[in-house]
Amino acid sequence: MILNEPELHLSGDALVPDLGGWRRERMPVLPEVTAFELAPDWVCEVLSPSTAPLDRTRKLPIYARERVQHVWLVDPSPRMLELLRLDGDGYRIVGAWHGDAIVHAEPFEAHALHLADLWSA
């Protein structure tokens, strides 16, 4: 289940990622709530000059603490996708692509993602 700008209330921290996704095993039904207390399995943050520092320094440690397994950082300016995977208490970069690459990025590696589609939107 993928939601646009879900409001997350995680252990006293309120965050709003650009996209958040939960595996159906963890969230079989969309609850009727204004904020989610169950951390997503995947988040995507679209970086901008004003949000990148917040996304990287404030949000990433909270996502790691809450065991969010995958984080995508999409930066439209250099047309880049960075994929982070939870590794212990922090994240490890497992892939980075730019331009018009076609990627199979976790946790959606079964599907081809054409980065050119992101930049033309």
Q: What CATH number does residue 48 fall under? A: 3.90.1570.10
pLDDT for the residue numbered 120: 86
Closest CA to 45 of 18, 81, 64, 8: 18
Residue 75 has pLDDT above 90, yes or no: yes
- 49-64 tens-digit pLDDT: 999 999 999 999 999 9
Residue 121 has pLDDT above 80, yes or no: no
pTM recorded for the entire structure: 0.94
Can you give the residue range of the structural domain that contains 62?
2-119
Structural domains counted in the chain: 1
Handedness of CA 64, 9, 113, 53 (dihedral sign): negative
Handedness of CA 78, 85, 90, 28 (dihedral sign): positive
